[in-house]
Amino acid sequence: MQLTGTQFTRTAAVFGNDISTLPDFPAEIRAPAGSLPGVSGFQISFSSNDIHTPGDAPDVLVAMNPAALKTNIGDLPAGGALIVNKDAFTRQNLTKAAYTSDPLSDGSLKQYTLFEVPISTLNAGALEGLEMSAKQVDLTKNFFALGMMFWLYERSLDPTLRWIDEKFAKNPTIAEANRRALKAGYAFGETTEMFHTHYRVAPAKLEPGTYRNITGNEATALGFVAASRLARRPLFYGSYPITPASDILHQLATYKNFGVKT
């Protein structure tokens, strides 16, 4: 989810939108898949105007399983678009998320615009013929969801397709799987009669200049280096390599030319 959220962010930035994001990582180490503590989320606000926060109430919520739905549904305003992977709403997953009934059929979601998409099934069909395990195939389904979002907001697939080629250059099968998943999600949005409209968010009117798409962790690392240089003190950073703190460790490791030790 973090990976695909980051790709949507990069695409919005390249298009010229002003952006603000809020990655949400589970606090638990290796929380069970499908459990409430194990939900990972990524919130993005992108606009044609100047924005300063990732927002409070999303217009669209994508829930890949019951736990994700239960954790985040309280943030979605009435009338908001709710897209769910209906394949994940099995009795076992509902129990893990502490549901006593299926929210897709018990009427509890009637105040939202609900779209039930068999993401897992459609994605598996798009990857037929590739020599991959069922688990590997399932891991690519977030790219299918990303493809749907790209169609919904009229975004080009090209930046993410190039990123996939670079990221998985040493594993052509995984690269091909992610490409297929992304394109299949986009094609589903384009051809299904489920979605009656899509949206266009114009580029923001920003002052001319060079802009950087930067995360909070990257900014923290740069701040450490700047403080070290200004104080004329060597910088040592010791950290347990666990998401999201490991991003700071990885970033600082690239600044050995500034005397940084990790």
- The pLDDT tens digits for 88-113 are 999 999 999 999 999 999 999 999 99
| Pairwise CA distance, residues 237 & 18, whole Å | 32
pLDDT top residue among 216 and 127:
127
Tell me the pLDDT of the chain averaged across its residues.
93
One domain for residues 88 and 140: yes
- Return the CATH number at 35: 3.40.920.10
pLDDT at 202: 94
Q: Whole-prediction pTM value?
A: 0.88
Q: Answer whether residue 205 is part of any domain.
A: no
pLDDT top residue among 211 and 175:
175
Q: Answer whether residue 203 is part of any domain.
A: no
pLDDT at 76: 97
Please check the confidence at residue 196 and state whether its pLDDT lies above 90. Answer: no
Q: Answer whether residue 210 is part of any domain.
A: no
| Pairwise CA distance, residues 196 & 257, whole Å | 54
Q: Answer whether residue 208 is part of any domain.
A: no
pLDDT at 227: 97
One domain for residues 245 and 167: no
Mean pLDDT across the stretch 190-202? Answer: 90
**Residue-range definition of the domain harbouring residue 64:** 2-191
pLDDT at 215: 85
Token reading at 60: 């669209």
Lowest mean pLDDT among 73-87, 101-115, 209-223: 209-223
Q: Answer whether residue 138 is part of any domain.
A: yes
Please check the confidence at residue 243 and state whether its pLDDT lies above 80. Answer: no
Neighbours of 5 (CB within 10 A): 22
Strand stretches in the chain, DSSP E? 18-24, 41-47, 60-63, 81-85, 113-117
One domain for residues 132 and 247: no
Instruction: Look up residue 234 and give its amino acid.
Output: P
Q: Answer whether residue 204 is part of any domain.
A: no
pLDDT at 213: 78
How many domains are there within the chain?
2
- The pLDDT tens digits for 20-55 are 999 888 777 777 788 888 899 999 999 999 888 888
One domain for residues 111 and 38: yes
pLDDT at 214: 84
| Pairwise CA distance, residues 93 & 35, whole Å | 8
Mean pLDDT across the stretch 51-76? Answer: 94
